[in-house]
Every structure is written in structure tokens, then in C-alpha cells.
Amino acid sequence: MDIAALRNAHPEHWDMATAIRVLTLDAVAAANSGHSGMPMGMADVATVLFTKHMKFDAAAPNWIDRDRFILSAGHGSMLVYSLLHLTGYEQFPIEELKNFRQLGARTAGHPENFLAQGIETTTGPLGQGIANSVGFAMAEEMLRARYGKRVFDHHTYVIAGDGCLMEGVSQEAIGLAGRHQLSKLIVFWDNNSITIDGKVDLADRTDQVMRFKASGWHVQEIDGHDPEAIDAAITAAKGSKKPSMIACKTHIAIGSSAQDTSKGHGALTDPKLIEDTRQVYGWTAPAFEIPGEIKSKWEEAGRRGAEARFAWEERFSSVSERRQGEIHRIMAGEAPKKLSSVIRALKKQVSESAPKVATRKSSEMVLEVVNPIMPETVGGSADLTGSNNTKTGDLGVFDIDNRAGRFVHWGIREHGMAAAMNGMALHGGVRPYSGTFMCFTDYARPAMRLSALMKQPVVYVMTHDSIGLGEDGPTHQPVEHVAMLRATPNMLVFRPADTVETAEAWEIALTQQDTPSVLSLTRQNVATVRKEHKTKNMVAQGAYVLADAEGKRQAILMATGSEVEIAMAARDLLQAEGIGTRVVSMPCWELFEAQDDAVRRRVLPAGPVRVAVEAGVRMGWDRWLCGERGREAKAGFVGMDSFGASAPAEVLYEHFGITAEAVAAKVKSLL
Amino acid sequence: MDIAALRNAHPEHWDMATAIRVLTLDAVAAANSGHSGMPMGMADVATVLFTKHMKFDAAAPNWIDRDRFILSAGHGSMLVYSLLHLTGYEQFPIEELKNFRQLGARTAGHPENFLAQGIETTTGPLGQGIANSVGFAMAEEMLRARYGKRVFDHHTYVIAGDGCLMEGVSQEAIGLAGRHQLSKLIVFWDNNSITIDGKVDLADRTDQVMRFKASGWHVQEIDGHDPEAIDAAITAAKGSKKPSMIACKTHIAIGSSAQDTSKGHGALTDPKLIEDTRQVYGWTAPAFEIPGEIKSKWEEAGRRGAEARFAWEERFSSVSERRQGEIHRIMAGEAPKKLSSVIRALKKQVSESAPKVATRKSSEMVLEVVNPIMPETVGGSADLTGSNNTKTGDLGVFDIDNRAGRFVHWGIREHGMAAAMNGMALHGGVRPYSGTFMCFTDYARPAMRLSALMKQPVVYVMTHDSIGLGEDGPTHQPVEHVAMLRATPNMLVFRPADTVETAEAWEIALTQQDTPSVLSLTRQNVATVRKEHKTKNMVAQGAYVLADAEGKRQAILMATGSEVEIAMAARDLLQAEGIGTRVVSMPCWELFEAQDDAVRRRVLPAGPVRVAVEAGVRMGWDRWLCGERGREAKAGFVGMDSFGASAPAEVLYEHFGITAEAVAAKVKSLL
């Protein structure tokens, strides 16, 4: 690489870009870990983007009409930290960079959205950023359609690497963006031909240009070190009516002895290598010091968007007060005040009418009353719309000619759907929920974990949540999935028993600001067990006494979802034999765990035999069966200890012994 | 659709194909559930394939050199059941078809490999079959390279639908097959333009032909109802040096009133619709009856491969006896006799030298002695070869010009890797193991579940298994993943403490025939805790006493993996204060659960305080903490209850309080 030629051709650009490179080298060396090569290679693209195109104001990181920048190749985190420092984000003084990858620093190994302003999403697991970006761009389209260009009119920029493009989820994202002609989405592919194992060619020879074109993208190929080419390509991309991919041929770890090698992908920490590289760059300032002139040019870039922001604020102030209030509310992720009364009215109605319906249908009943009062909800399904019951009458379908549509046909793309929902939630102004079969949480899992880690209140509507789905068989029958979700930190897992509990679960899910929710819903009909109307949201307690023992309390049955009905029937059998039996419905373990000891003890007092019934694996139930702090309790479990089978649902419940009779027998065997 | 024209053009073909169509209609009607449209639409392709090209002999379903047929669009299961019945597979009498989707039948809702011969893989979760097929084709290439064309020389045929191609994993499969020019892989795309939600166009407009070409495939487009075109396309595909995709334009639910609609995708059960369709087809035989002439033509097709099989048997008998024995052994999935002695020798050596190494390095040490004596092992990594330590010196890299290579650079494709490993294991003759970071089991999850459901002894080498990976931060730090894996039925989850336990875990994993294994391995160095050589494989007991209490037994510490060392240090602290403390290493819960009560009680006797320590979530530990059957035990847990953070490993262990001091303090607080 003829670095001198690059420098001479565009000296000012060179200096600014190289500030990113040396900060990266310095921070990685200080941490003695990290990834140097990518920020070094993509510094030119990032510099042109941030100094000439990105609409942002470092002084107002949360400006809602800013362009979004997503580093999908998250291991190159020093790229974004350098940019945030250089452009003058308050939260990124040089000390943060010196503390790269240290406990408590905002400069984590991979960018974490919850640690600092200016980091739009958490990346690192590859492919997530590009898939998030589809949600960002969709949210922008939807909000622009609803509130007009004067409020929402911005781009989403992404830097993706070879790893992002090899992950399958990228195909789901590419397909979605192409299908919906998300023209304000612009992806830079860091085409450096290197991965950890060696040359990309070792594992992939896909013609990425042809691949993106196949899905309807506008594609350009440029030298990723030529600032003029970069500038022109971004301008052209902005003018396209399709999503844009700019293939940037770059040299990873440019200018170092590790350039164009897999070594360059990782942490360059050898002092001599670093010194030599600085020399090649013609950079003489000490570590972590940026010459004043260069720093001020960067800070100027950081202020470049101020004018646009002022203009926007003026425009925004001309929006009606009601609309301003609504926009503030939805961007803050606050539920409308009306929500609780609407939920309460539905609860009252269904406890009286006591319908026998599948809880997926219950969920639809809730959405029918919620969607009209929450313009920010956006629903969808991974090609199971009729089964997931996520589409209500008034939503309209999001499409090229209907950007105001609030229902998304995601296609058979559970992973892309979940990642795009994360993007929508991160963008703000949209509260996404979508569905698939519970068993296919497997496909969505990497993005679902990120909802939790990123503290995004996405709602997953997972129907067909047990062997109760019947004939489709074990590939479609979750047995371990509810346990898996419960094992995940910061995730509310609801398994409601009937329409009342489903309404309560939805109310909680829709008022979350930092926590995703999963609704585990049945395919099969279940009885209404909450026939007495209570204003109070009982699901909010996590677990509660649904029916108490008559006479001496000898047994406590714990159950969730479709098995609450079974527990109630078992109680009837036991009470008929004079065995006083309490039934505890446990729709949300996480919320129950958050209760005071006293509440938990009131619901699950020591002494009686405890039997849990759930059409899933036992994993986790021992927490409740043996009593907290190991208090003695004779205990048993009725559920699954294997995969399911293909047969009608009733046959399977009988076959696997999940019946009222089996529960009653288990209790009696323990007494 | 002009059905009459189709029938008249190729009357014999029409009758044979229509036998599939009516059997499908009849079985779905009998079950009152299922998917009619796909088998109806793809009957022509299947008929040409099975009558003219597929090398198989219905009388010898397990013939090792048979062509493999994979129905990736598994919901169309009646296609494969019809074919197996019609061609005369013993396990598929008409009664099986009449019992479609009923308990105990081989004709499950989706094809289940473990239920019957002739079903090569379990499909239903979309995209899995096409991704399995990459493993099938790789296994064939590898075995052909090692044993010659006279033993292994067959094709892998796949039928994939739009759903398969929308799932991201398909891109990973397409990329891999293209990269490796797997020319004996032939994929039929059922291009029927319909999904459950409606037209494919609702969610996707990808030009699939261009997409496959971009990854180096040979692509043809044909009318999927024209037998001559199908025949010619298969012939051309067989002649290509690339993997082949044949885009078959078809009409879903052809000839019925639901043709070309999403209704046609599902269960057509209306008697009038069925009767009308049979009439359109010109089919007069009663339900489940195939006219004798048509059935005999199909049975002839089922016998068509007998001659080739006899010729193969003759060729095989000319192979040396030693080789024959080896081939029989590897196809049966049996470990070589030498394995246990090799493992024992390594155990002896490392208990003496007591190295302080990461268990991922321990795993490499095991593989270094195992791979030379097990020619069937095939290793790999999802672009983390140097980190997962899965590549040993003698393997060679699988490539176009080195088909005998036994290491696969999977690229950044964890999901495709896992699904391809399933394919290799299903093919037989190959025992696949591959690695990624434990956190990215998330990406591989759908295929990992299928390893368990399909009873395939795939080995997952999951390194960097806790916050011990340090600076990469919470996106890369598993906390819930070991719990998730333990929740999955039929999966052995090993978290070995040192090199000795790692060797024992590998020995168990490599002798499994029906169960996949996950090795949860550290990034960071750990001490050897098993310093006294024992011939016996202690990991096989699942949990065992590593160090017993001195004096009165007041506490039992339970730990796995890197935390066993911490438990041992905590024991030192407690013993120093006179608190008799036993340490139980629990490398594999599933194996411990399988022990007799007496064994479990010996290891975990009632009475002492129990504290578990594991750098993961508590989920599942209560099973062991409260004692079986709710026996009383004061108990505590030291581990994680949130996501991790970015910092050096030691700092994180301290920060999250997973230390010997914390464990000792917990014990004392409970005494």
C-alpha cells in the first residue's frame, strides 16, 4: 500500500482518518486486547460519512431525526468510539478510550447501546447490525408516513463485514430491505477479504454484488480508501430508490505489517509494530493525543448538523401540540394513559362471558382493543399470520405504497424478524410485536437474547406453545423453550392461562421500557379460569392463588398456561376426596421472583405437598417445588421429559400423562 | 391448468405422479390435518427423480451407496411417505398412510428420520434439509476420496421450498456448497410462488436464480410439470461440476380448486374438493387404493436399483477385509477399540504433569491423540479455528482439491455448520465435531435441537464458555447457555474441570450412537484438579466426589468446569477453619441423573449445607441444591444473575463475586 500517495492525495482527509487509526492502535494496545484492523481499514469511509454526510449533532445525541449509524461489524468498536470522541460527544472524553475494555467504561469490547449515547445498537454477534438496520429503516418509513418529512426524514447507515454477510440472518435482512425498497438504508461492506481463519476465500466465494442485486439492491463498488469515490458513492446511494450496498475494497490493518492478514483482524499490540505503523502514517503525536488542528476539524464535523437540528426544531414546534405530545410519548416508549382502562374493560367482559378460546385468540382480542389506542404498535408474523393472530383489522399492511401500514409480513424469517424488531425498538417511536411458533424461538434466539441485553421492550408472540399443537409433531412442539427463555436474564416470560391473564400479560408487556416480553400462547382452546373480575392485574404479581383449598390445605398445585385448567380439574378430583387443594397460577416467574419474601410465602406457604404441572421440561421448577431456601416440601412434577410426538393434541396429553388424573395421583402418592 | 393436456402428453407418467397426489389427498383427509398442496405440486418432479434417476433399492433401504433424498420442505411429508409406499418399502404398507399423523405411526406430521427407513433426515423447521444436504454431500466426497468410487459414489437430492430459501440458514448452505463445488448435490426448488400468508411476493422478491449463481451454482429453470424437462434437467445437473439448483415452476395443489393459493398449502379436507380434484385427475380408484398396474410400475421403480446394488456388493467384496471392517464400523458409528486405551494413556500423563491450561487446549490435546486412530472424525470451526482448538496436525483441510481433508473451515456460519454436521452424521461414515464460542450456540440452536431429536452423535466444541472470556463483553459471554442446553432432551452437556475430565468427556462423546454432546470449554487456563490417575471414567458417573471432607462433613460444594478450581480453593479456606467440606465435580448432569438413587445419594448425601458454584445462571441448580424429592438441605448458589460485562476475566470473577472467598462466605452464612 502506498500510504504516502494516499496522504498526499488528500492530506486533510488523511489526517482526520488517521486520527481514528491511531486512537484504535493506542486503545487496543492499552487494553492489550481488541480488534485493530477493521477501524484502520474503514477509517476513510467513516471519515467521509461523518464529515460530509451523516446528519447528527454531537451536542444532541438523542435528536430524534438524526441519521443512525450502525457498526454491524461490532468487533471494530474502536471505530465508533473514536468517532464519538473525535466529534465531541460529551460521554466520550479521551479517558474513556484509555479505559477501552475495562470494567465500568463506556468503551466495552463491543459497542453496547445501553452504555452510552451515540451507540445505536449492540453488535458483536455478527449479522445483527445489518438485520437491525432493516427495522431502523422501516421505523423511519412508518413514522415519516405518519408524521411527515418535517419530523422524520433520516438515513440509516451500516458498516458490515464479511462475517455479517456470511451469517444467514444477513440474507433475511437483504431480502426484506430489497422487498420493501428501503431506500434510506445504506450499507457499506468492508470488503477486506480477511476473516479470523484467513482469507474469506477459504470459506466463501459468493459474488456479493450479484447477491445483493438479486434482492433488488442498488450496488456500487469502490476503493474504500479513496475519499472522493466514497463521497460520490454515498451521494449516489442517497439518490437511489432502492436500498444501497457500497462494496468498499479496503485493506485491513492498513499501513501496518499485519495489513491484509488475519493477524491484522485481531489485537495489534506489539509496540514496534505500532511505532512502525505510526511512522508509516507520518503520525508523530504521542499516544491518545490528537493534534489540535485535527481535533478541531473533527469537532467541527460534530457540530455540522447543529443547523439542521435547529431547523428541525423549528419545524417540530409548528407541529400541533397534540402530535408533539404523542411523538414525545412514543419516542420515550411510554404507554398511553388509556391502556389500563381498555385492558380492564376487556377483562371484565371476558370474565363474564368466559369464552373457551385458544390464548393466541385471546391475544388477538387484546390487540383488537390495544392497537386502536396505540399508534406506535407494529405487528407482524413470520408467515404465520393466521396462526399467530397478530393482525388486527385496523393495522394495514406495511408496503412500498403503504408506508403507514402497521403490519409486516416478515416472510419465513424468524431471525430477521426479531433482529428488525430490535432495530425498530432502538429507533424509537415504534413498539414492535410479532409472532411465530414457540418452537421457532430457536431461529430467533440470537436476536431475542439481544432484545434482553439491549433492554428493548420488544414483544414476542409465540403461539403453539406445547404438545398441544398436535399433529405437526416434535419438530414443532416446544418442550424446552419456555425454560430457555426463563433462563435468559432481563426477559419476561408470560404463559397466561386464559384471556384475562393474556390481557394482563399484554398490559405489562406494553408498559415495559427496558425489558422484552415473550407471550407463550396455546394453539388449542382453553377454558376461562378467571371468572371473577378483578381490577388488579394479578399477572403483575407473577403468581397468585387462583383457587384456595377448601378445608385443611394439604396440597398446592402450581401451573401455567394451558395446564392451569388441568390443575383446576385435578383440584376438583382431590377436593372430592377431601384433600384440600390450592391452585396457584404462575404466569410469570420473573415477576414472582421480584416480589417480597412475604408475598411469595403467602402464595406458596411451607407444609403442603407441591405438584407443578406444565407441558414442558422440569428444568427450573425445582426452585418452586422444593421451596425457597431449601425449605422442606414434598414435591412432584407432571410434564415432559422427552420430545413430543405427532398425534392429535388430546391423544398426546393422555400419552404423556399430563392430565388431571395424573396430577391428582401424583399428589396422593406424595401425601 | 390444463390437466387433460398434461395427462395426454405423458399418460404413464401422469398416472404414476397422480398416485402420489391422491395418496396425499386421502391421507390428509383421513388425518384431517397436514399439507396437501406441496406433494401435489411436486409429484411430477418426484416421479421422474424416483423412476429415472435416484439410485436406490427399496428392498435395501440402508445400502450405503444409495442416493440420498431429502425433503427440506418437510411439511410436504406425504410426498416422501407416498414414494416409500409406492416403491415398496417394507415399513410403509398402506396402513401407515392411513394412520398419517397418528400416535405410533411412522407417518408423522413431518418426516422423522428415527421413525423409519427411507427417511434420511428430520425436516419441518425450514431450511434445515437444504443445510443438512451440504453435510451429506461433503461426507460422500470425503468417503469417496478415502475409499474410492467403487464404494462411495452417489448423489444427494433435495426438494426445497420458498420457506427453505427465505430462512437465513439456506444462504449459509448455498455459500458452502458453492465454495466447495459439491457437484453431487442437486436441489429442486419448488417454485410455486405461495406461502402460508399468501403470495411469496408479499415478503420476498429475490431473484433466486441470480442468488444461487452468485454463489457458484449451476442453475436451470424448468416447468416442474413437464417430465421430459425434469428428466433433462436432472441429467444436466448430474453432468455439472458445480452444485445444481433446478428451479421448478409448479402449481401448488395442482388441479384442485385451491390450486395456486395459500389455502392449497394447507390441509385440503373438504370431501367435495377432494372428489372434484380426483375427477379432474381422471382418477377413479377408491381412497388409498392404487390400481394394480400403476402400483406395479412403481414397485418396478423401487427395484430398479437392485442391479446396481448387486454390482456394488460385488465391488465391495473385492475391498480388503480390513477396509471392509473399517467401513462397516464407521457406518455403524462404532468407536474403535483402541479409543479407551488412548484416552487412558493421556489421562495418566496429564494427571502426572498437571498442566495449567484452558480446557479448549485440553480438548485439542485429546483430539491430537484421537484423530489419528479415528479416520471417521471430521473437525471444523466457524471461523474460530485458533480459538476453538479443533484442528489437529494430521487432519488436512477439506477443499476442492483435497476431498480427503478432515477439517472444514465453515466460515462465519454457526447454523449452517451445525446443520451440515447433522447431515454428515446422518449420512454415516463420518463423526463430525466443530466449534464456535459457547455464546453462539444461539445461532446454531435450531440445528442443535435437531441433533438431539434426530439422535445424531454430533459433538459441539463450545469454547469461551463464561465471563472467563473477558474483554469481548456480554454479547460473547454465555450465562444462560449451559442451562438452555441442559434443558434440551437427549443432549449430553459436559463442562469438564481440567484435561482429565475433558479426555473423559470426549471418550463418552465419541462412543455415543444416539446422542449429541456439547463440550463447554474455557478460554482461560485452569488448574488440573484430577491429579491422581484413575482408570475409571469418572465423568461417566456425571458427578463424583473430587475431594471429601476432612473431619465432620458440614458442607458440600458442587461445581463444574472452571469453577471446580474455585470450589477446591473454597474447600481449603473452609477446612482451615475446621469446616469439613466435600467438593463434588458435576461435569455432566444428564449422566448423573441416569445413575441409581444409591449412587446419587452417596455423592450428595442429605444433611450438609450445599453450595453450588457455576459462572452461569442458577436455573436448574435447585434440582441439586434442595436435594432429590425435596429432602431438606440448606443451600446456596454462587454464579451469575445478569449478563456479563467487558473487562479482563479476573476482574469479572471478582466483580460478579464468583470467588473462593464468596463461596466460603456463603457456606458459613448457611451453617
Helices and strands (H and E) in chain B: how many? 28, 20
Q: Are strands A377-381 and A459-463 parallel, antiparallel or unpaired?
A: unpaired
Q: How many CB pairs under 8 A join A and B?
A: 368
Using CA atoms, how far apart are residues B416 and A166, in angstroms rounded to an integer? 10
Amino acid at A283: W
Using CA atoms, how far apart are residues A352 and B252, in angstroms rounded to an integer? 45
Is a pLDDT exceeding 80 seen at residue B358? Answer: yes
Q: What is the CA radius of gyration of chain B?
A: 28
B109 carries a ligand binding annotation: no
Cross-chain Cβ contact A103/B646 below 8 Å: yes
Inter-residue contact A488 to A556 (CB < 8 Å):
no
Cross-chain Cβ contact B168/A166 below 8 Å: no
Q: What grid cell was written down for A582?
A: 390450592
Inter-residue contact B407 to B398 (CB < 8 Å):
yes
pLDDT tens-digit profile of A448-473?
999 999 999 999 999 999 999 999 99
Q: Are strands B544-547 and B580-585 parallel, antiparallel or unpaired?
A: antiparallel
Q: What grid cell was written down for A93?
A: 472524553
Is a pLDDT exceeding 60 seen at residue B71? Answer: yes
User: What is the per-residue pLDDT for A33?
Assistant: 97
Unique residue bearing C-alpha cell 475446621: B578
Q: What is the DSSP letter of B489?
A: T
Q: What is the DSSP letter of A38?
A: H
Query: Mean pLDDT of all residues in chain B?
Result: 97
User: What is the per-residue pLDDT for A634?
Assistant: 79
B75 carries a ligand binding annotation: yes
Q: What grid cell was written down for B277?
A: 380434484
Active-site residue, B172 included: no
User: CB neighbours (10 Å) of residue A262?
Assistant: 20
Inter-residue contact A82 to A42 (CB < 8 Å):
no
Inter-residue contact A476 to B124 (CB < 8 Å):
yes
Of B194, B213, B211, B212, nearest to B203 by C-alpha is B194
Beta strands per DSSP E along A565-638 = 580-585, 609-613, 635-638
User: CB neighbours (10 Å) of residue B98?
Assistant: 16
Cross-chain Cβ contact A170/B166 below 8 Å: no
Residue A76: strand pairing partners = none
Of B621, B498, B638, nearest to B565 by C-alpha is B498
Amino acid at A364: E
Q: In degrees, to the nearest 5, what angle opens at C-alpha A568 toward C-alphas A564 and A570? A: 115
Inter-residue contact A583 to A557 (CB < 8 Å):
yes
pLDDT tens-digit profile of A562-580?
999 999 999 999 999 999 9
User: What is the per-residue pLDDT for B627?
Assistant: 54
Is a pLDDT exceeding 70 seen at residue A631? Answer: no
In sequence order, what are the residues at sequence separation of 6 or more whose Cβ sits closer than 8 angstroms to the Cβ of residue A30? A98, A100, A287, A288
Cα→Cα distances B196→B75, B162, B202, B262, B381, Å:
12, 11, 11, 5, 36
Task: Name the strand (E) or helix (H) holding B556.
Answer: strand B553-559
Helices and strands (H and E) in chain A: how many? 27, 20
How far is the alpha carbon of A293 from chain B, nearest alpha carbon, in Å?
A: 33
pLDDT tens-digit profile of A269-282?
999 999 999 999 99
Q: What grid cell was written down for B350?
A: 496429564
Using CA atoms, how far apart are residues A187 and A141, in angstroms rounded to an integer? 17
With left for phi above 0 and alpha for psi between -120 and 50, is residue B414 left, alpha or beta? Answer: alpha
**Mutating which of B449, B646, B651 best tests the A interface, going by the most A Cβ atoms within 10 A?**
B646
Q: What is the DSSP letter of A51?
A: I
- Residue A272 class from Cβ within 10 Å (0-12 exposed, 13-18 middle, 19+ buried)? exposed
Using CA atoms, how far apart are residues A475 and A478, in angstroms rounded to an integer? 8
B620 carries a ligand binding annotation: no
What is the 3-class SS of A99-127, one letter each residue? CCCCCCCCCCCCCCCCCCCCCCCCCCCCC
A75 carries a ligand binding annotation: yes
Q: Measured between beta carbons, which residues in chain B are less than 8 angstroms from residue A34? A: 471
How far is the alpha carbon of A342 from chain B, nearest alpha carbon, in Å?
A: 30
Residue B377: strand pairing partners = B431
SS3 content of chain A, % helix, strand, coil (to 5): 45, 15, 40
User: What is the per-residue pLDDT for A582?
Assistant: 98
Helix (H, G, I), strand (E, B) or coil at A486: helix
Q: How many residues does chain B have?
A: 671
Mean pLDDT value of segment B375-389: 98
Is a pLDDT exceeding 50 seen at residue A632? Answer: no
Using CA atoms, how far apart are residues B266 and A246, in angstroms rounded to an integer? 41
Using CA atoms, how far apart are residues B318 and B538, in angstroms rounded to an integer? 43
A566 carries a ligand binding annotation: no
Is a pLDDT exceeding 70 seen at residue A628? Answer: no
The complex's ipTM?
0.98
**Mutating which of A471, A490, A650 best tests the B interface, going by the most B Cβ atoms within 10 A?**
A471
Of B274, B302, B269, nearest to B286 by C-alpha is B274
Using CA atoms, how far apart are residues A614 and A627, in angstroms rounded to an integer? 17
Using CA atoms, how far apart are residues B476 and B465, in angstroms rounded to an integer? 9
Inter-residue contact A670 to A634 (CB < 8 Å):
yes
User: What is the per-residue pLDDT for B607?
Assistant: 87
In sequence order, what are the residues at sequence separation of 6 or more whose Cβ sits closer than 8 angstroms to the Cβ of residue A611? A555, A556, A557, A558, A635, A636, A637, A638, A663, A666, A667, A670
Helix (H, G, I), strand (E, B) or coil at B461: strand
- Residue A320 class from Cβ within 10 Å (0-12 exposed, 13-18 middle, 19+ buried)? exposed
Q: What grid cell was written down for A197?
A: 481463519
B347: Cα separation from own chain's centroid: 29
pLDDT tens-digit profile of B48-67?
999 999 999 999 999 999 99
User: What is the per-residue pLDDT for A630?
Assistant: 40
Closest residue to B168, CB basis, from A168, A211, A487: A168
User: What is the per-residue pLDDT for A633?
Assistant: 56
**Confidence class for position B132, pLDDT limits 50, 70, 90:** very high
Closest residue to A646, CB basis, from B101, B179, B202: B101
pLDDT tens-digit profile of B610-653?
999 999 999 999 989 875 444 445 789 999 999 999 999 999 99
Using CA atoms, how far apart are residues B439 and B503, in angstroms rounded to an integer? 23
Closest residue to A416, CB basis, from B168, B214, B384: B168
Cα→Cα distances B120→B74, B116, B117, B254, B426, Å:
12, 9, 8, 27, 7
Q: Are strands A580-585 and A544-547 parallel, antiparallel or unpaired?
A: antiparallel
Of A238, A671, A474, nearest to B450 by C-alpha is A474
Q: What grid cell was written down for B291?
A: 390400481
A464 carries a ligand binding annotation: yes
Residue B186: strand pairing partners = B157, B244
Using CA atoms, how far apart are residues A274 and A109, in angstroms rounded to an integer? 20
Query: Mean pLDDT of all residues in chain A?
Result: 97
User: CB neighbours (10 Å) of residue B455?
Assistant: 17
pLDDT tens-digit profile of A301-350?
999 999 999 999 999 999 999 999 999 999 999 999 999 999 999 999 99
pLDDT tens-digit profile of A521-554?
999 999 999 999 999 999 999 999 999 999 999 9
Q: Measured between beta carbons, which residues in chain A are less than 8 angstroms from residue B612? A: none
Give φ, ψ of A605 to 5 degrees.
-70, 150
Using CA atoms, how far apart are residues B416 and A238, in angstroms rounded to an integer? 34
Cross-chain Cβ contact A629/B646 below 8 Å: no
Q: Which of A414, A507, A563, A565 is catalytic?
A: A414
Cα→Cα distances A220→A143, A179, A243, A503, Å:
28, 19, 11, 49
Residue B517: strand pairing partners = B459, B492
Using CA atoms, how far apart are residues B128 and B140, in angstroms rounded to an integer? 18
Closest residue to B197, CB basis, from A409, A633, A645: A409
User: What is the per-residue pLDDT for A1?
Assistant: 76
User: What is the per-residue pLDDT for B635?
Assistant: 86
pLDDT tens-digit profile of A344-378?
999 999 999 999 999 999 999 999 999 999 999 99
Of A430, A240, A41, A442, nearest to B443 by C-alpha is A442
Unique residue bearing C-alpha cell 464407521: B330
- Cβ-defined contacts of A269-275 (< 8 Å, 24+): A269/A28, A269/A29, A269/A32, A269/A33, A271/A29, A274/A25, A274/A26, A274/A29
Unique residue bearing C-alpha cell 421451596: A627
Using CA atoms, how far apart are residues B211 and B193, in angstroms rounded to an integer? 16
User: What is the per-residue pLDDT for A651?
Assistant: 98
How far is the alpha carbon of A424 from chain B, nearest alpha carbon, in Å?
A: 18
Using CA atoms, how far apart are residues B3 and B477, in angstroms rounded to an integer? 58
B283: Cα separation from own chain's centroid: 40
Closest residue to B166, CB basis, from A214, A216, A412: A412
Cross-chain Cβ contact B409/A473 below 8 Å: no
